[in-house]
Amino acid sequence: MDTIPSIPKRISAIQFGLISPREVRKMSVTNIIAADTYDDDGYPIDMGLMDLRLGVIDPGLKCKTCGSRAGECPGHFGHIELVAPVVHVGFNKTIRKTLRSICRNCSALLLEPSQKKDFLAQLSKLHEMGHLPDPVINEVFKEARKTKVCPHCGTEQLEIKFEKPTEYVEDGHKLTPTEIRDRFENISDDDVKVLGMDPSSARPEWMILTVLPVPPVTVRPSITLESGQRSEDDLTHKLVDIIRINQRFQENRDAGAPQLIIEDLWELLQYHVTTFFDNEVSGVPPARHRSGRPLKTLTQRLKGKEGRFRGSLSGKRVNFSARTVVSPDPNLSINEVGVPEAIAIQMTIPERVIDRNTELLKMYILRGSDVHPGANYVIRPDGRRIKITENNKEELAEKVEKGWIVERQLMDGDTVLFNRQPSLHKMSIMAHQVKVLPNKTFRLNPAVCPPYNADFDGDEMNMHVLQTEESRAEASILMQVQENILSPRFGGPIIGGIHDHISGMFLLTRNENCITKNEALELLRKAEIRELPEPAGYKDNGDPYWNGKQIFSQILPEGLNVEFPAEVCFKCETCKKEDCEYNAYVVIRNGEMVKGTIDEKAIGAFKGIIVDKIVKKYGTEAGAKFIDDFTRLAVRGIMKTGLSFGTGDEDISETAKKNIKQVLDDAEIGVQELIRTYEAKELEPLPGRTLDETIEMKIMQTLGKARDETGRIVGNQLGLENSAVIMAKSGARGSMLNLTQMAACVGQQSVRGERIRRGYAGRTLPHFDKGDLGADARGFVKSSYKSGLSPTEYFFHAIGGREGLVDTAVRTSQSGYLQRRLVNALQDLEVQYDGTVRETRGVIVQFRYGEDGIDSTKSDYSKPDNIHKIVEAVTGRKVN
Amino acid sequence: MCTLFEGGENLNKFNLFDNELIPKHEILGEDELKSVLKRYKIEREQFPKIKINDPVIQQIGASVGDVVKITRKSQTAKEALYYRLVIE
Ligand SMILES: [Mg+2]
Ligand SMILES: [Zn+2]
Ligand SMILES: [Zn+2]
Ligand SMILES: [Zn+2]
């Protein structure tokens, strides 16, 4: 920061107005009179639609206005003198409103002078406050239209009907554009102001065209087809039509043709000008190309998804990108992405030929573009790109030398950007190393699903191939997956184990299981482990065995020390730490797992303490290696025993069923008792609550407790060997609540946090008595998903379920818009090297980033833990 | 205007800084201002702004063109310094 960027100039205002015929002629470089483009020699006709003064598109020709060649000349406007005025469709509604607001005789605004003054005052006030004038203007139109007799000249006003766009019928007589223009010309400047226009930049008569601007050729270039034939732009076609009719009109009028013919031609001219502006006006048949395709005229260029705004400015298509479905591959590194060979063949990287790679690049060229590590194009030193084909590959390989560039195909190890929409945070686009694989999907390690928020139910992702050395360097330093393991949002890992990784490690490490040598080698096969530790013991037959903790220890870096309660921790009153009888306190000493069970708390995305510690202590590379290793170990670990789940796993014993029924019946009785006291007016209201609220809360409480109790029964009944319980307790997937609902009792259905009460008058369904406050009448579902719901329960469940769906839909749209506003407000802020946060003008927003200047990913959750650890390591004294 | 209290004089005045949520504001001296400008390599206009009619500015009596130093309590940094240029 040695020079501060100077404060740039600011746009203070933008004024919109109508373009006047005078301005059109002033900016025009020529009048266009010929309805033709090129002469027989292919040279632009003078005063034709491709006149050389309008700009040039053919290479070799020079612009007659600015003297530049094609590409440099921005193009210049011409104009067509219309024989008779026509309506501009874009203003047809304003024209209608204005016609209805002014006198047909004297063109005065149909308002009393006092009213006029009043409106003017309102308008200037709104302008002062910076508000839009629209509501007042609409009021003006509404008031003026009510006046039936002109207050100035006393002429009776006639109804003006608006039948087609550009057609105004006054009492059965069609107003010609000339008549309309005459009326508008006579409106005084003061009246124009009341109508919401600024007479200096927008006179109403300018809404009726007398001269048409002809856009420069550069915005409507003609293309030469392969046959050598020229194909003109749709706009040019339309302009040809306009000029032809304009000419015929002139000839007929000069020859004194009958009024009927003149009117027909005028209408035709109006039609062509209308469709030149907008070819999708309702009530006007679209102008078509010879092939029957509707022409794309001015409005169609701008409008809609494919239009200039949404299609070319807000969003663009890019080269060197690919998109396909993603699927998982735990054997890939988190830094890798599996790319289908079909995509790798299409994507190229330009590589400059130097001494050291000439032979290699020649080999790629010789392989051609059909065999995988090949090349698709070469670029000669003069910049010509040549496609490599079966026929020319030998010749090109021969010719290639220093100074050429070879566009070789994507190969293993290339850096690419990988992205999944919606790109809400920086981890939605990360750099991966390519691994070319068979089949048709992108493959990624499931541990990187959380930052992308990807799953494999059909999600598609995009890949962008980096084209320069600089971009590849920048991407691999800043955007590589391993550099994003820790999220700046909370300073912890956002990349880590999910689902099977967690249940796999849980199964492997929780018990003192016997793992034979073969099994141990199979588990660690992909982990670059060359030696097994001392066996945990020997079997009767003398074979050595190891336990899961030892196996896991092999992938831990040396010297790692961590202690923490696992996810399965029972949260006892006083934690016994190492001596936890549930094996729920993890102790890792010097890279050796001594105690505990590995679960979500240890390796999970968002929570994984071991991942967090390794990245912070050993760096991102070690972190990535650890994640790679444990994903591979976990899937092998889970395959050793297998983990499946079916309805059979929700089976509970008859006694448990009886107990659950008992609990629910007791709750029902409790509720009835509550209702009795309520109806007998014996119920004490809770502080700050009405009696009605109190009874509702008490009933909800009673039923909630009962549901939780059934959950406990199910939990005890199924035990820690049940696969659903394993997944819930270890944090791999699902919760004990899910399990309770499946096996015991679904529980209360609610709408906006209350029991369901809407429906019929005084009751939820006709199945119940009016005023019934009982559990089943208000949406309590006694059944479990497995046992099935009764019809009324099913209906209540659908009500509760619908609320959830609506909520998510509303929430996503709201949070999406909030995100957009935040991004727009903050996108230009930048943390400078001096630690300040500044915007583009160099104005300071924060004098120290986040007040403390700390990068959250390097801060250990803002706690001085690390210092304590260092002090402890050096002095051997525990500090807190 | 505040007329919550009765009796006594100057009912409408109370000290803003008695509220614990209002951080310390003080007008920056010429020397300190110079060193701050130098430290951040900025011009006056590159400071964040505060309006002259802000109650805090009125209370400490700063005028347009002054720079105020704001000492805020911070959860993570204990104390955080902030500067604002007083504007019209
Ligand atoms: Mg999905
Ligand atoms: Zn030019
Ligand atoms: Zn009149
Ligand atoms: Zn414990």
pLDDT digits (tens, 9 = 90+) for A21-35: 999 999 999 999 998
Per-residue model confidence (pLDDT) at position A702 = 93
Residue B6 confidence class, pLDDT cut points 50, 70, 90: very low
- CA A339 to chain CA mean position, Å: 23
Per-residue pLDDT of A311-343, as tens digits, reads: 888 878 899 999 999 999 999 999 999 999 999
| Tokens representing residue A154 in the block | 């006393």
Residues around the ion ligand 3 (C-beta < 5 A): A 103, 105-106, 108, 150, 152-153, 155
Calculate how close chain B gets to A122, using CA atoms only, in Å. 28
Q: Concatenate the DSSP letters of all residues of A420-478 into one string.
A: -SS--SGGGEEEEEEEEESSSSEEE-GGGHHHHT--SSS-EEEEEE--SHHHHHHIIII
Per-residue model confidence (pLDDT) at position A3 = 53
Q: Which of A822, A836, A833 is nearest to B46 (CA)?
A: A836
CA dihedral A852, A855, A860, A866 (to 10 degrees): -70
Picking from A1, A9, A839, A847 by the largest number of B CB atoms within 10 A of its own CB, the best residue to mutate is A847
* Residue A501 near residue A599, CB atoms below 8 Å: no
Nearest to B76 among A843, A845, A851 (CB): A851
Helix axes A259-277 and A234-254, enclosed angle (nearest 10) = 160
Residue A309 confidence class, pLDDT cut points 50, 70, 90: confident
Per-residue pLDDT of A691-749, as tens digits, reads: 889 999 999 999 999 999 999 999 888 888 899 999 999 999 999 999 999 999 999 99
SS3 label, residue B26: strand
Per-residue pLDDT of A830-843, as tens digits, reads: 999 999 999 988 89
Q: Which residue has tokens 């080999």?
A: A363
Picking from A851, A856, A859, A860 by the largest number of B CB atoms within 10 A of its own CB, the best residue to mutate is A851
Residue A4 has pLDDT above 60, yes or no: no
3-class DSSP string for A621-681: HHHHHHHHHHHHHHHHHHHHHCCCCCHHHHCCCHHHHHHHHHHHHHHHHHHHHHHHHHHCC
CA of A610 to the centre of ligand 1 (A): 28
Contact: B80, A836; criterion CB under 8 Å: no
Residue A154's region, left for phi above 0, alpha for psi from -120 to 50, else beta, is left
User: What's the whole-number average pLDDT of chain A?
Assistant: 90
Q: Concatenate the DSSP letters of all residues of B67-85 into one string.
A: EEEEEEEETTTEEEEEEEE
Q: What is the reported pTM?
A: 0.75
| Tokens representing residue A806 in the block | 């609506």
Ligand minimally distant from the alpha carbon of residue A601 = 4
Q: How far apart are CA A825 and CA A679, in angstroms?
A: 57
Ligand minimally distant from the alpha carbon of residue A51 = 2
Residue B31 has pLDDT above 60, yes or no: yes
Q: Which of A107, A94, A96, A87 is nearest to A210 (CA)?
A: A87
Q: Which of A28-32, A641-645, B11-15 has the lowest mean pLDDT?
A: B11-15
Burial-class residue A830 by CB neighbours within 10 Å (0-12, 13-18, 19+): exposed
What is the DSSP-derived secondary structure letter of residue A708? H
Amino acid at residue number A875? T
Residue A265 has pLDDT above 70, yes or no: yes
Per-residue model confidence (pLDDT) at position A326 = 97
Residue A874 confidence class, pLDDT cut points 50, 70, 90: confident
Residue B2 confidence class, pLDDT cut points 50, 70, 90: very low
Residue A349 confidence class, pLDDT cut points 50, 70, 90: very high
| Higher-confidence position of A528 and B44 | B44
Q: H helices of A499-643, where?
A: 500-509, 517-523, 548-553, 600-603, 609-618, 620-641
Q: Which of A725, A721, A723, A720 is nearest to A740 (CA)?
A: A725
Report CA-CA distances (Å) from A436 to A343, A412, A836: 9, 6, 43
CA dihedral A381, A384, A387, A393 (to 10 degrees): -40
Radius of gyration of chain A (CA): 39
Q: How far apart are CA A2 and CA A834, in angstroms?
A: 11
Residue A573 has pLDDT above 80, yes or no: no
Count of A–B CB contacts within 8 Å?
A: 46
| Higher-confidence position of A372 and B83 | B83
Angle among Cα A332, A336, A339 to the nearest 5 degrees reads 95
Report CA-CA distances (Å) from A511 to A15, A595, A598, A698, A868: 76, 10, 11, 44, 32
Residue A162 has pLDDT above 90, yes or no: no
Q: Chain B residue with minimal CA distance to A833?
A: B40
Q: What are phi and psi of A755, to 5 degrees?
A: -65, 155
Residue A7 confidence class, pLDDT cut points 50, 70, 90: low
Contact: B81, A7; criterion CB under 8 Å: no
Task: Give the other-Cβ count within 10 Å of A769's Cβ.
Answer: 10
What is the DSSP-derived secondary structure letter of residue A69? B
Q: How far apart are CA A282 and CA A301, in angstroms?
A: 17
Residue A634 confidence class, pLDDT cut points 50, 70, 90: very high
**Residue-wise over A531-565: b if at least 16 C-beta within 10 A, else e?**
ebeebbeeeeeeeebbbbbbbbbbbbbeebebebb
CA of A549 to the centre of ligand 4 (A): 18
Q: Which of A93, A173, A77 is nearest to A141 (CA)?
A: A93
CA of A265 to the centre of ligand 1 (A): 59
For residue A86, what are the β-bridge partners? A209
Give me the percent of chain A exceeding a pLDDT of 70. Answer: 99
Per-residue model confidence (pLDDT) at position A880 = 67
Residue A6 confidence class, pLDDT cut points 50, 70, 90: low
Q: How far apart are CA A647 and CA A46, in angstroms?
A: 84
Task: Name the helix (H) or strand (E) containing A831.
Answer: strand A830-831
| Tokens representing residue B63 in the block | 């005028």
Contact: B48, A843; criterion CB under 8 Å: yes
Q: How far apart are CA A601 and CA A585, in angstroms?
A: 11
**Peptide bond between residue A422 and the one before it cis (omega within 30 degrees of 0):** yes
Q: Which of A727, A712, A315, A175 is nearest to A498 (CA)?
A: A727
Per-residue model confidence (pLDDT) at position B10 = 53
Q: How far is the first Cα of chain B from the last one, in angstroms, to the nearest whole number?
A: 22
Residue A225 confidence class, pLDDT cut points 50, 70, 90: confident
Q: Which of A27, A75, A25 is nearest to A50 (CA)?
A: A75
Residue A781 confidence class, pLDDT cut points 50, 70, 90: very high
Sequence-distant (6+) residues with CB within 8 A of A305 are: A311
Residue A675 has pLDDT above 50, yes or no: yes
CA of A510 to the centre of ligand 4 (A): 14
Contact: B48, A852; criterion CB under 8 Å: no
Q: How far apart are CA A442 and CA A416, in angstroms?
A: 12
Per-residue pLDDT of A72-101, as tens digits, reads: 899 999 999 999 999 999 999 999 999 999
Q: How far apart are CA A52 and CA A76, in angstroms?
A: 10
Residue B12 confidence class, pLDDT cut points 50, 70, 90: low
Give me the percent of chain A exceeding a pLDDT of 90. Answer: 63
Residue B8 has pLDDT above 70, yes or no: no
* Residue A517 near residue A532, CB atoms below 8 Å: yes
Sequence-distant (6+) residues with CB within 8 A of B54 are: none
CA of A61 to the centre of ligand 2 (A): 11
Sequence-distant (6+) residues with CB within 8 A of A667 are: A702, A703, A705, A706, A775
Contact: A852, B40; criterion CB under 8 Å: no
Picking from A844, A846, A861 by the largest number of B CB atoms within 10 A of its own CB, the best residue to mutate is A844
Ligand minimally distant from the alpha carbon of residue A107 = 3
What average pLDDT score do residues A760-787 get? Answer: 92
Residue B5 confidence class, pLDDT cut points 50, 70, 90: very low
CA of A629 to the centre of ligand 4 (A): 28
Residue A115 has pLDDT above 70, yes or no: yes
Chain B residues within 8 Å of chain A (Cβ atoms):
40-43, 45-48, 72, 74, 76-77, 80-83
Helix axes A177-185 and A92-101, enclosed angle (nearest 10) = 60
* Residue A588 near residue A562, CB atoms below 8 Å: yes
User: In angstroms, how far apart are the furthest CA atoms of chain B?
Assistant: 52
Q: What are phi and psi of A593, to 5 degrees?
A: -80, 120
Contact: A851, B46; criterion CB under 8 Å: no
Q: Chain A residue with minimal CA distance to B38?
A: A2
Indicate whether this complex's ipTM tops 0.90.
no
Chain A residues within 8 Å of chain B (Cβ atoms):
1-2, 4, 7, 834, 836, 838, 841-845, 847-848, 850-854, 862
Helix axes A500-509 and A620-641, enclosed angle (nearest 10) = 70
Residue A631 has pLDDT above 70, yes or no: yes
Per-residue pLDDT of A410-426, as tens digits, reads: 999 999 999 999 888 99
Residue A43 has pLDDT above 90, yes or no: no
Q: Which of B47, B65, B55 is nearest to B25 (CA)?
A: B55
Amino acid at residue number A368? G
Per-residue model confidence (pLDDT) at position B24 = 93
Per-residue model confidence (pLDDT) at position A570 = 82
CA of A78 to the centre of ligand 2 (A): 12
- E-state strands within A73-134: 78-87
Sequence-distant (6+) residues with CB within 8 A of A122 are: A136
CA of A32 to the centre of ligand 2 (A): 16
| Tokens representing residue A557 in the block | 């870096």
Q: What's the order of all strands across the beta sheet hosting A830-831?
A: A830-831, A837-838, A844-846
Per-residue model confidence (pLDDT) at position A108 = 92
Q: What are phi and psi of A849, to 5 degrees?
A: -50, 120
What average pLDDT score do residues A816-823 get? Answer: 88
* Residue A37 near residue A48, CB atoms below 8 Å: yes
Per-residue model confidence (pLDDT) at position B1 = 43
Per-residue pLDDT of A452-488, as tens digits, reads: 999 999 999 999 999 999 999 999 999 999 999 999 9
Q: How far apart are CA A225 and CA A228, in angstroms?
A: 5
Residue A575 confidence class, pLDDT cut points 50, 70, 90: confident
